[in-house]
Structure 1
Amino acid sequence: MTMPVFVIFWVSLCLTSVKGDYYSATSELEALVDVEVRLVQQIEFYLQKAEEQQENIKRFLENVEKVPDDPYYIEDYFENPINAFITIKRLVHDWRYNVFEPVFDQSDLVAYKENLTKQLESPDFKNPTKDDLLGATRGLWRLQETYKLPTSQLANGILMPGDKNELNVTLSASDCYTIGSYLNELQQHSYAVDWLLEAKAKSIKEVSAFPFVSELSILEQLAPTLNQVGNKKLAYRLNTEILEKDPNHETALKDKPIYETQLAWQRDPRLNVAASKVDESSKSLDLYQRVCRGELRQSPRQQRKLRCFYSDRGVAFYRLGPFKVEQLNLDPYVAYFHNVISDDETDDLIEHGMGQVKRSRVGTVGNSTVSEVRTSQNTWLWYEQQPWLKNLKLRLEDITGLGMESAEPLQLVNYGIGGHYEPHYDFVEDKVTTFGWKGNRLLTALLYLNEVPMGGATAFPYLKLAVPPVKGSLLVWYNLHRSLDPDFRTKHAGCPVLMGSKWVCNEWFHEGAQEFRRPCGLMNDNVDDTLAS
């Protein structure tokens, strides 16, 4: 008897691929569909030799085959973050433990393994990993946290109240159990409780489902999680339920006296002393989330001086076709320029990013790192190397009135499952060390390349402003005062993408070489914006 074929297959696949990082951008998810299509074809051939497992495997493949393999439909399919999570979860967990393990360890099928591995070998394929599944889970949690989505609603494929589940996408008990387990790893225990309770409710109705998760497995996760969030009474009750199902359960037997002691402490008020302190960072996060949800907005008084108008920006070329300007805030200045870029140009930019983007990093050049503060993928476009960007470059100069001599390359960004960017500033503290002669980031120009069905707004917490993505429009704001001091009121963030894919381009104009285009003020106009620092 040789080594089980599924082990050889999966190890060889992992050794020939690298971390996929599929959850941070929807542009990379389409590759997973091709992999699953090939897996379905090979497993269907093998099913002829595995009659005992045939019924279970067929149920699983029926679910996989619902994933569209036509490129025309794939984009719509992955607009729903639940579909992205399910796809990654299948490739990280279900294929291995619920298909290959029960099938391939039954007989010596080395020849079949070699054929299967050969068909899956591709230099362009990057194998999804547990990190991808953790990232997808974190993305769903971020959507729940920011937009206050009920777990039962999300588990049934409804992203917002009143929506219809037209694609009939739902999460199974196994899916909910996986989310709950991974949320425990992410230390989000209160949300883990909700998902494990949802898994428990679904498992009762899904007795014949495949893959199947037992109620006992769910209870083994749920009891200690409830204890972690402080519900010791219910944790004890579920631990007792575990022992009723399995009187010799080793972990439950060890936990029983611990729960009993904790309950005794709770009944003694002298031992139940708790103190809570409100973290200042949590206040800032709460403000950002309220703006993203639309709970915090500018008052009519704050908006009364804002205008919408046509402007040629002093350029004769635009006199017959001026820009549509929508002021969003006057001090600091934030404005929309609508219809800045055509559909053909946005399509070209997105097409260029497909397969080119890599995980976005935070921090200064040479000291940057991947962080959950920013979940997206990006690439850089140098104007000198991309002649087709010449017209866009001139347009950006005309709109902003600034020169590109010290500007950065164009950054193309794609946000994935719950993709977001937590509140941050675009300017830096040590501008000389970071940017040299170019100086600090004077102005940010953010170009929206597609419509986002739900979420994805650009939020300015201290301005009580959430700007929704509008395809073809350019959002601009100054990061510095006229005196070139940092304007702390410009702290901004990318709200999580609730549905769809978000493509944007960032252009940062620096202080350098702007002396005659936007002279700095002779007086320090740095107003007291300490409340926003």
Structure 2
Amino acid sequence: MQWFCLYSLLFVFLRGGPVDGELYTALADLEELLHTESLLIGTLQRYIAQQEHRLAVAKRRLVEFQKEYEIATDDVTKYLSNPINAYLLVKRLTTDWKNTEALMTDDLSQEVAQNLTEYRKYLKFPTDEDLTGAATALMRLQDTYKIDTASLARGELNGVQYSSQLSAADCFELGRQSYNNQDFYHTVLWMTEALDRHERETNQTDTERWEILEYLAYSTYMQGNVRNALKITDELLEIVPNHQRALGNKVYYESAIKKGVEESDTNEDTEGLHDELPERELYEMVCRNAISPSPKKLAKLKCRYVHKNRPFLRLAPLKEEEAYDWPRIVLYRQAMYDNEIETIKRMAQPRLKRATVQNYKTGELETANYRISKSAWLKEEEDPVVAAVSQRVEDMTSLTTSTAEELQVVNYGIGGHYEPHFDFARREEKNAFKSLGTGNRIATVLFYMSDVPQGGATVFPSLHLALWPEKGTAAFWHNLHSSGEGDYDTRHAACPVLAGSKWGLYTFLLNVR
């Protein structure tokens, strides 16, 4: 478009345009042409400068993308096990690549832009929803494990350095995502960090300071600190004096202060912003190992070899470890072999879909924000390994798997979690297992198919108990009392995965109606 305008302007003046007579007959006319040429040179200079700027930015981004890609491909599993790296990968393939594509939309780059468009037809690209989800996951990790914003931005998770640091632009995007979710608490945290990093970074082209201040000012106001919001707005107006929204907000903030609007304590701990239930706080405390069963309770627990009068167990007894006495929760160590784990993961991976929960009123399956994972289902007849694991469940529990649900393979993503829930159906949940045509879930067996460096525990909030994932270990507990009533102390949760990849294999043992 700019080249079209430039050529059109040249054509008007070279053919005479609106000017009467020949231009070369009067110096005055030629002097006017010098002015015209000055305008054209200015236009051309701006175009070249724009192209050079685009090229410089594109080169810089290429170096950044290549550097991060080489780090990622050196050890893909390790790289993607880090939630910050996973978030940044999603961000790169949404926000960063969209911005990069915008650099290449001029006439000289149409072929490249067309290729990028074609790529979108057959390559996987994350969506804006993925970016929102990844950002929300980082907030969840930040709150659950009480990680301060600066540490998270440095790539530190509970004191362990896992990845490269976030840039001012990365922090700004996290703040923007929080703002879009009306989460002003986290918006203030991340916009403040973005501002601090913006001042320290030598290259500040991706995010303007005034943009950060705009989000920060309003979110600070929404947090109840009107005076600070006014101070930030004044700083914004020093940079952009004619910023209309800031001018309007300034008047509003000044009026609010004059009227003596009470301000809230901005230092208040708002960790429970989204959910202030006591269980929520207890759940998060158990997740970060801030609370555990008493020493007196733990002293009663035992370890043993178990035979259970089964032929196979006479040759290879189970290594049983009591995790809790009542309700009885036990761990079976080395209950699954590495080759079995790899076979099951290989079978499940192409089938993984967003995990669902059952609506207790309708019996229908639906996705929910409180369960972030993907799952796949395997049948015994599909592979001898699946059948062998199913048989091992019977050996462990002395319960039949003939009426059990299919084995459910679960993989947790960035900050993947499942908030406190029951595995059994309560009395009012009459449609819970309608589709299965069976009774309630008697017991749960959970195999851990990976180690998890940080986070990802299975926790029982009311018991203050955390089961930490260990590859090859299986956990087992009864969900129902002998009367058939649900045991409410078995309410449990899957804590957010802070670092690593968590794979689990569930089977639910059912009674028959």
Which amino acid is the alignment partner of residue 491 of structure 1? R
1:141 equivalent to 2:139? Answer: yes
Q: Which residue number in structure 2 is paired with residue 401 of structure 1? A: 398
Residue 352 (structure 1) aligned to one of 322, 330, 347: 347
Q: Which residue number in structure 2 is paired with residue 130 of structure 1? A: 128
Q: Which residue number in structure 2 is paired with residue 164 of structure 1? A: 161
Q: 1:420-459 maps to which residues of 2 (within 5 A)?
A: 420-430=417-427, 433-435=431-433, 438-459=438-459
Deviations 1:239-284 (A, max 9, x none): 1111111111100111012101222233679xxxxxx999995211
Deviations 1:162-191 (A, max 9, x none): x234x4x11000000000111122232112
Q: Which residue number in structure 2 is paired with residue 294 of structure 1? A: 289
Name the Cα RMSD after superposition.
2.5
Residues 324 and 53 of structure 1, relative CA distance in 2, 3 Å threshold: same
Deviations 1:280-335 (A, max 9, x none): 95211011011111111100111222101111222122223211111011211101
Q: Which residue number in structure 2 is paired with residue 372 of structure 1? A: 369
Residue 82 (structure 1) aligned to one of 81, 84, 93: 84
Q: Which residue number in structure 1 is paired with residue 463 of structure 2? A: 463
Q: 1:294-333 maps to which residues of 2 (within 5 A)?
A: 294-333=289-328
Q: TM-score, normalised by structure 1?
A: 0.80
Greater Cα offset, 175-184 or 347-356: 347-356
Alignment partners' CA distance in 1, 2:262 and 2:188: 26
Residues 90 and 205 of structure 1, relative CA distance in 2, 3 Å threshold: same
SS at match of 1:223: helix
SS at match of 2:380: coil
Which amino acid is the alignment partner of residue 482 of structure 1? S
Q: Is the 8 A contact 2:375 2:409 kept in 1?
A: yes
Alignment partners' CA distance in 2, 1:71 and 1:356: 24
Q: Which residue number in structure 2 is paired with residue 32 of structure 1? A: none
Q: Is the 8 A contact 2:457 2:494 kept in 1?
A: yes
Q: Which residue number in structure 2 is paired with residue 242 of structure 1? A: 236
SS at match of 2:166: coil
Query: Offset at 1:53?
Result: 2.4
Residues 109 and 155 of structure 1, relative CA distance in 2, 3 Å threshold: closer
Alignment partners' CA distance in 2, 1:327 and 1:465: 12
Q: Is the 8 A contact 2:137 2:415 kept in 1?
A: yes
SS at match of 1:197: helix
SS at match of 1:388: helix
Structure 1: gaps of 5 or more residues: 3-48, 270-275, 514-533
Alignment partners' CA distance in 1, 2:260 and 2:422: 45
Q: Is the 8 A contact 1:50 1:103 kept in 2?
A: no
Q: Which residue number in structure 2 is paired with residue 57 of structure 1? A: 58
Q: Is the 8 A contact 2:340 2:385 kept in 1?
A: no
Residues 309 and 370 of structure 1, relative CA distance in 2, 3 Å threshold: same
Residue 152 (structure 1) aligned to one of 141, 150, 153: 150
SS at match of 1:128: coil
Alignment partners' CA distance in 2, 1:368 and 1:509: 19
Which amino acid is the alignment partner of residue 144 of structure 2? T
Q: Which residue number in structure 1 is paired with residue 187 of structure 2? A: 192
Residues 503 and 478 of structure 1, relative CA distance in 2, 3 Å threshold: same
Q: Is the 8 A contact 1:332 1:489 kept in 2?
A: yes
Deviations 1:193-248 (A, max 9, x none): 111000001111223156x2111110010000000111111101001111111111
Which amino acid is the alignment partner of residue 328 of structure 1? A
Structure scoring higher RCO (CA < 8 A, sep ≥ 6) equals: 1
| Structure of larger gyration radius | 2
Alignment partners' CA distance in 2, 1:119 and 1:184: 31
Which amino acid is the alignment partner of residue 53 of structure 1? R
Q: TM-score, normalised by structure 2?
A: 0.83
1:389 equivalent to 2:386? Answer: yes
Q: Which residue number in structure 2 is paired with residue 96 of structure 1? A: 98
Q: 1:500-511 maps to which residues of 2 (within 5 A)?
A: 500-511=500-511
Alignment partners' CA distance in 1, 2:154 and 2:72: 25
Residue 265 (structure 1) aligned to one of 238, 259, 265: 259
Alignment partners' CA distance in 2, 1:348 and 1:137: 32
Alignment partners' CA distance in 2, 1:344 and 1:144: 35
Which amino acid is the alignment partner of residue 76 of structure 2? I
Which amino acid is the alignment partner of residue 396 of structure 1? V
Query: Offset at 1:358?
Result: 0.8
SS at match of 2:372: coil
Residues 485 and 319 of structure 1, relative CA distance in 2, 3 Å threshold: same
Q: Is the 8 A contact 2:58 2:103 kept in 1?
A: no
Greater Cα offset, 337-346 or 300-309: 300-309
Which amino acid is the alignment partner of residue 219 of structure 1? L
Alignment partners' CA distance in 1, 2:137 and 2:108: 40
Alignment partners' CA distance in 2, 1:144 and 1:290: 13
Alignment partners' CA distance in 2, 1:353 and 1:278: 36
Greater Cα offset, 111-120 or 327-336: 111-120
SS at match of 1:174: helix
Deviations 1:470-491 (A, max 9, x none): 1001001111111110111110
Structure 2: gaps of 5 or more residues: 3-49, 264-269
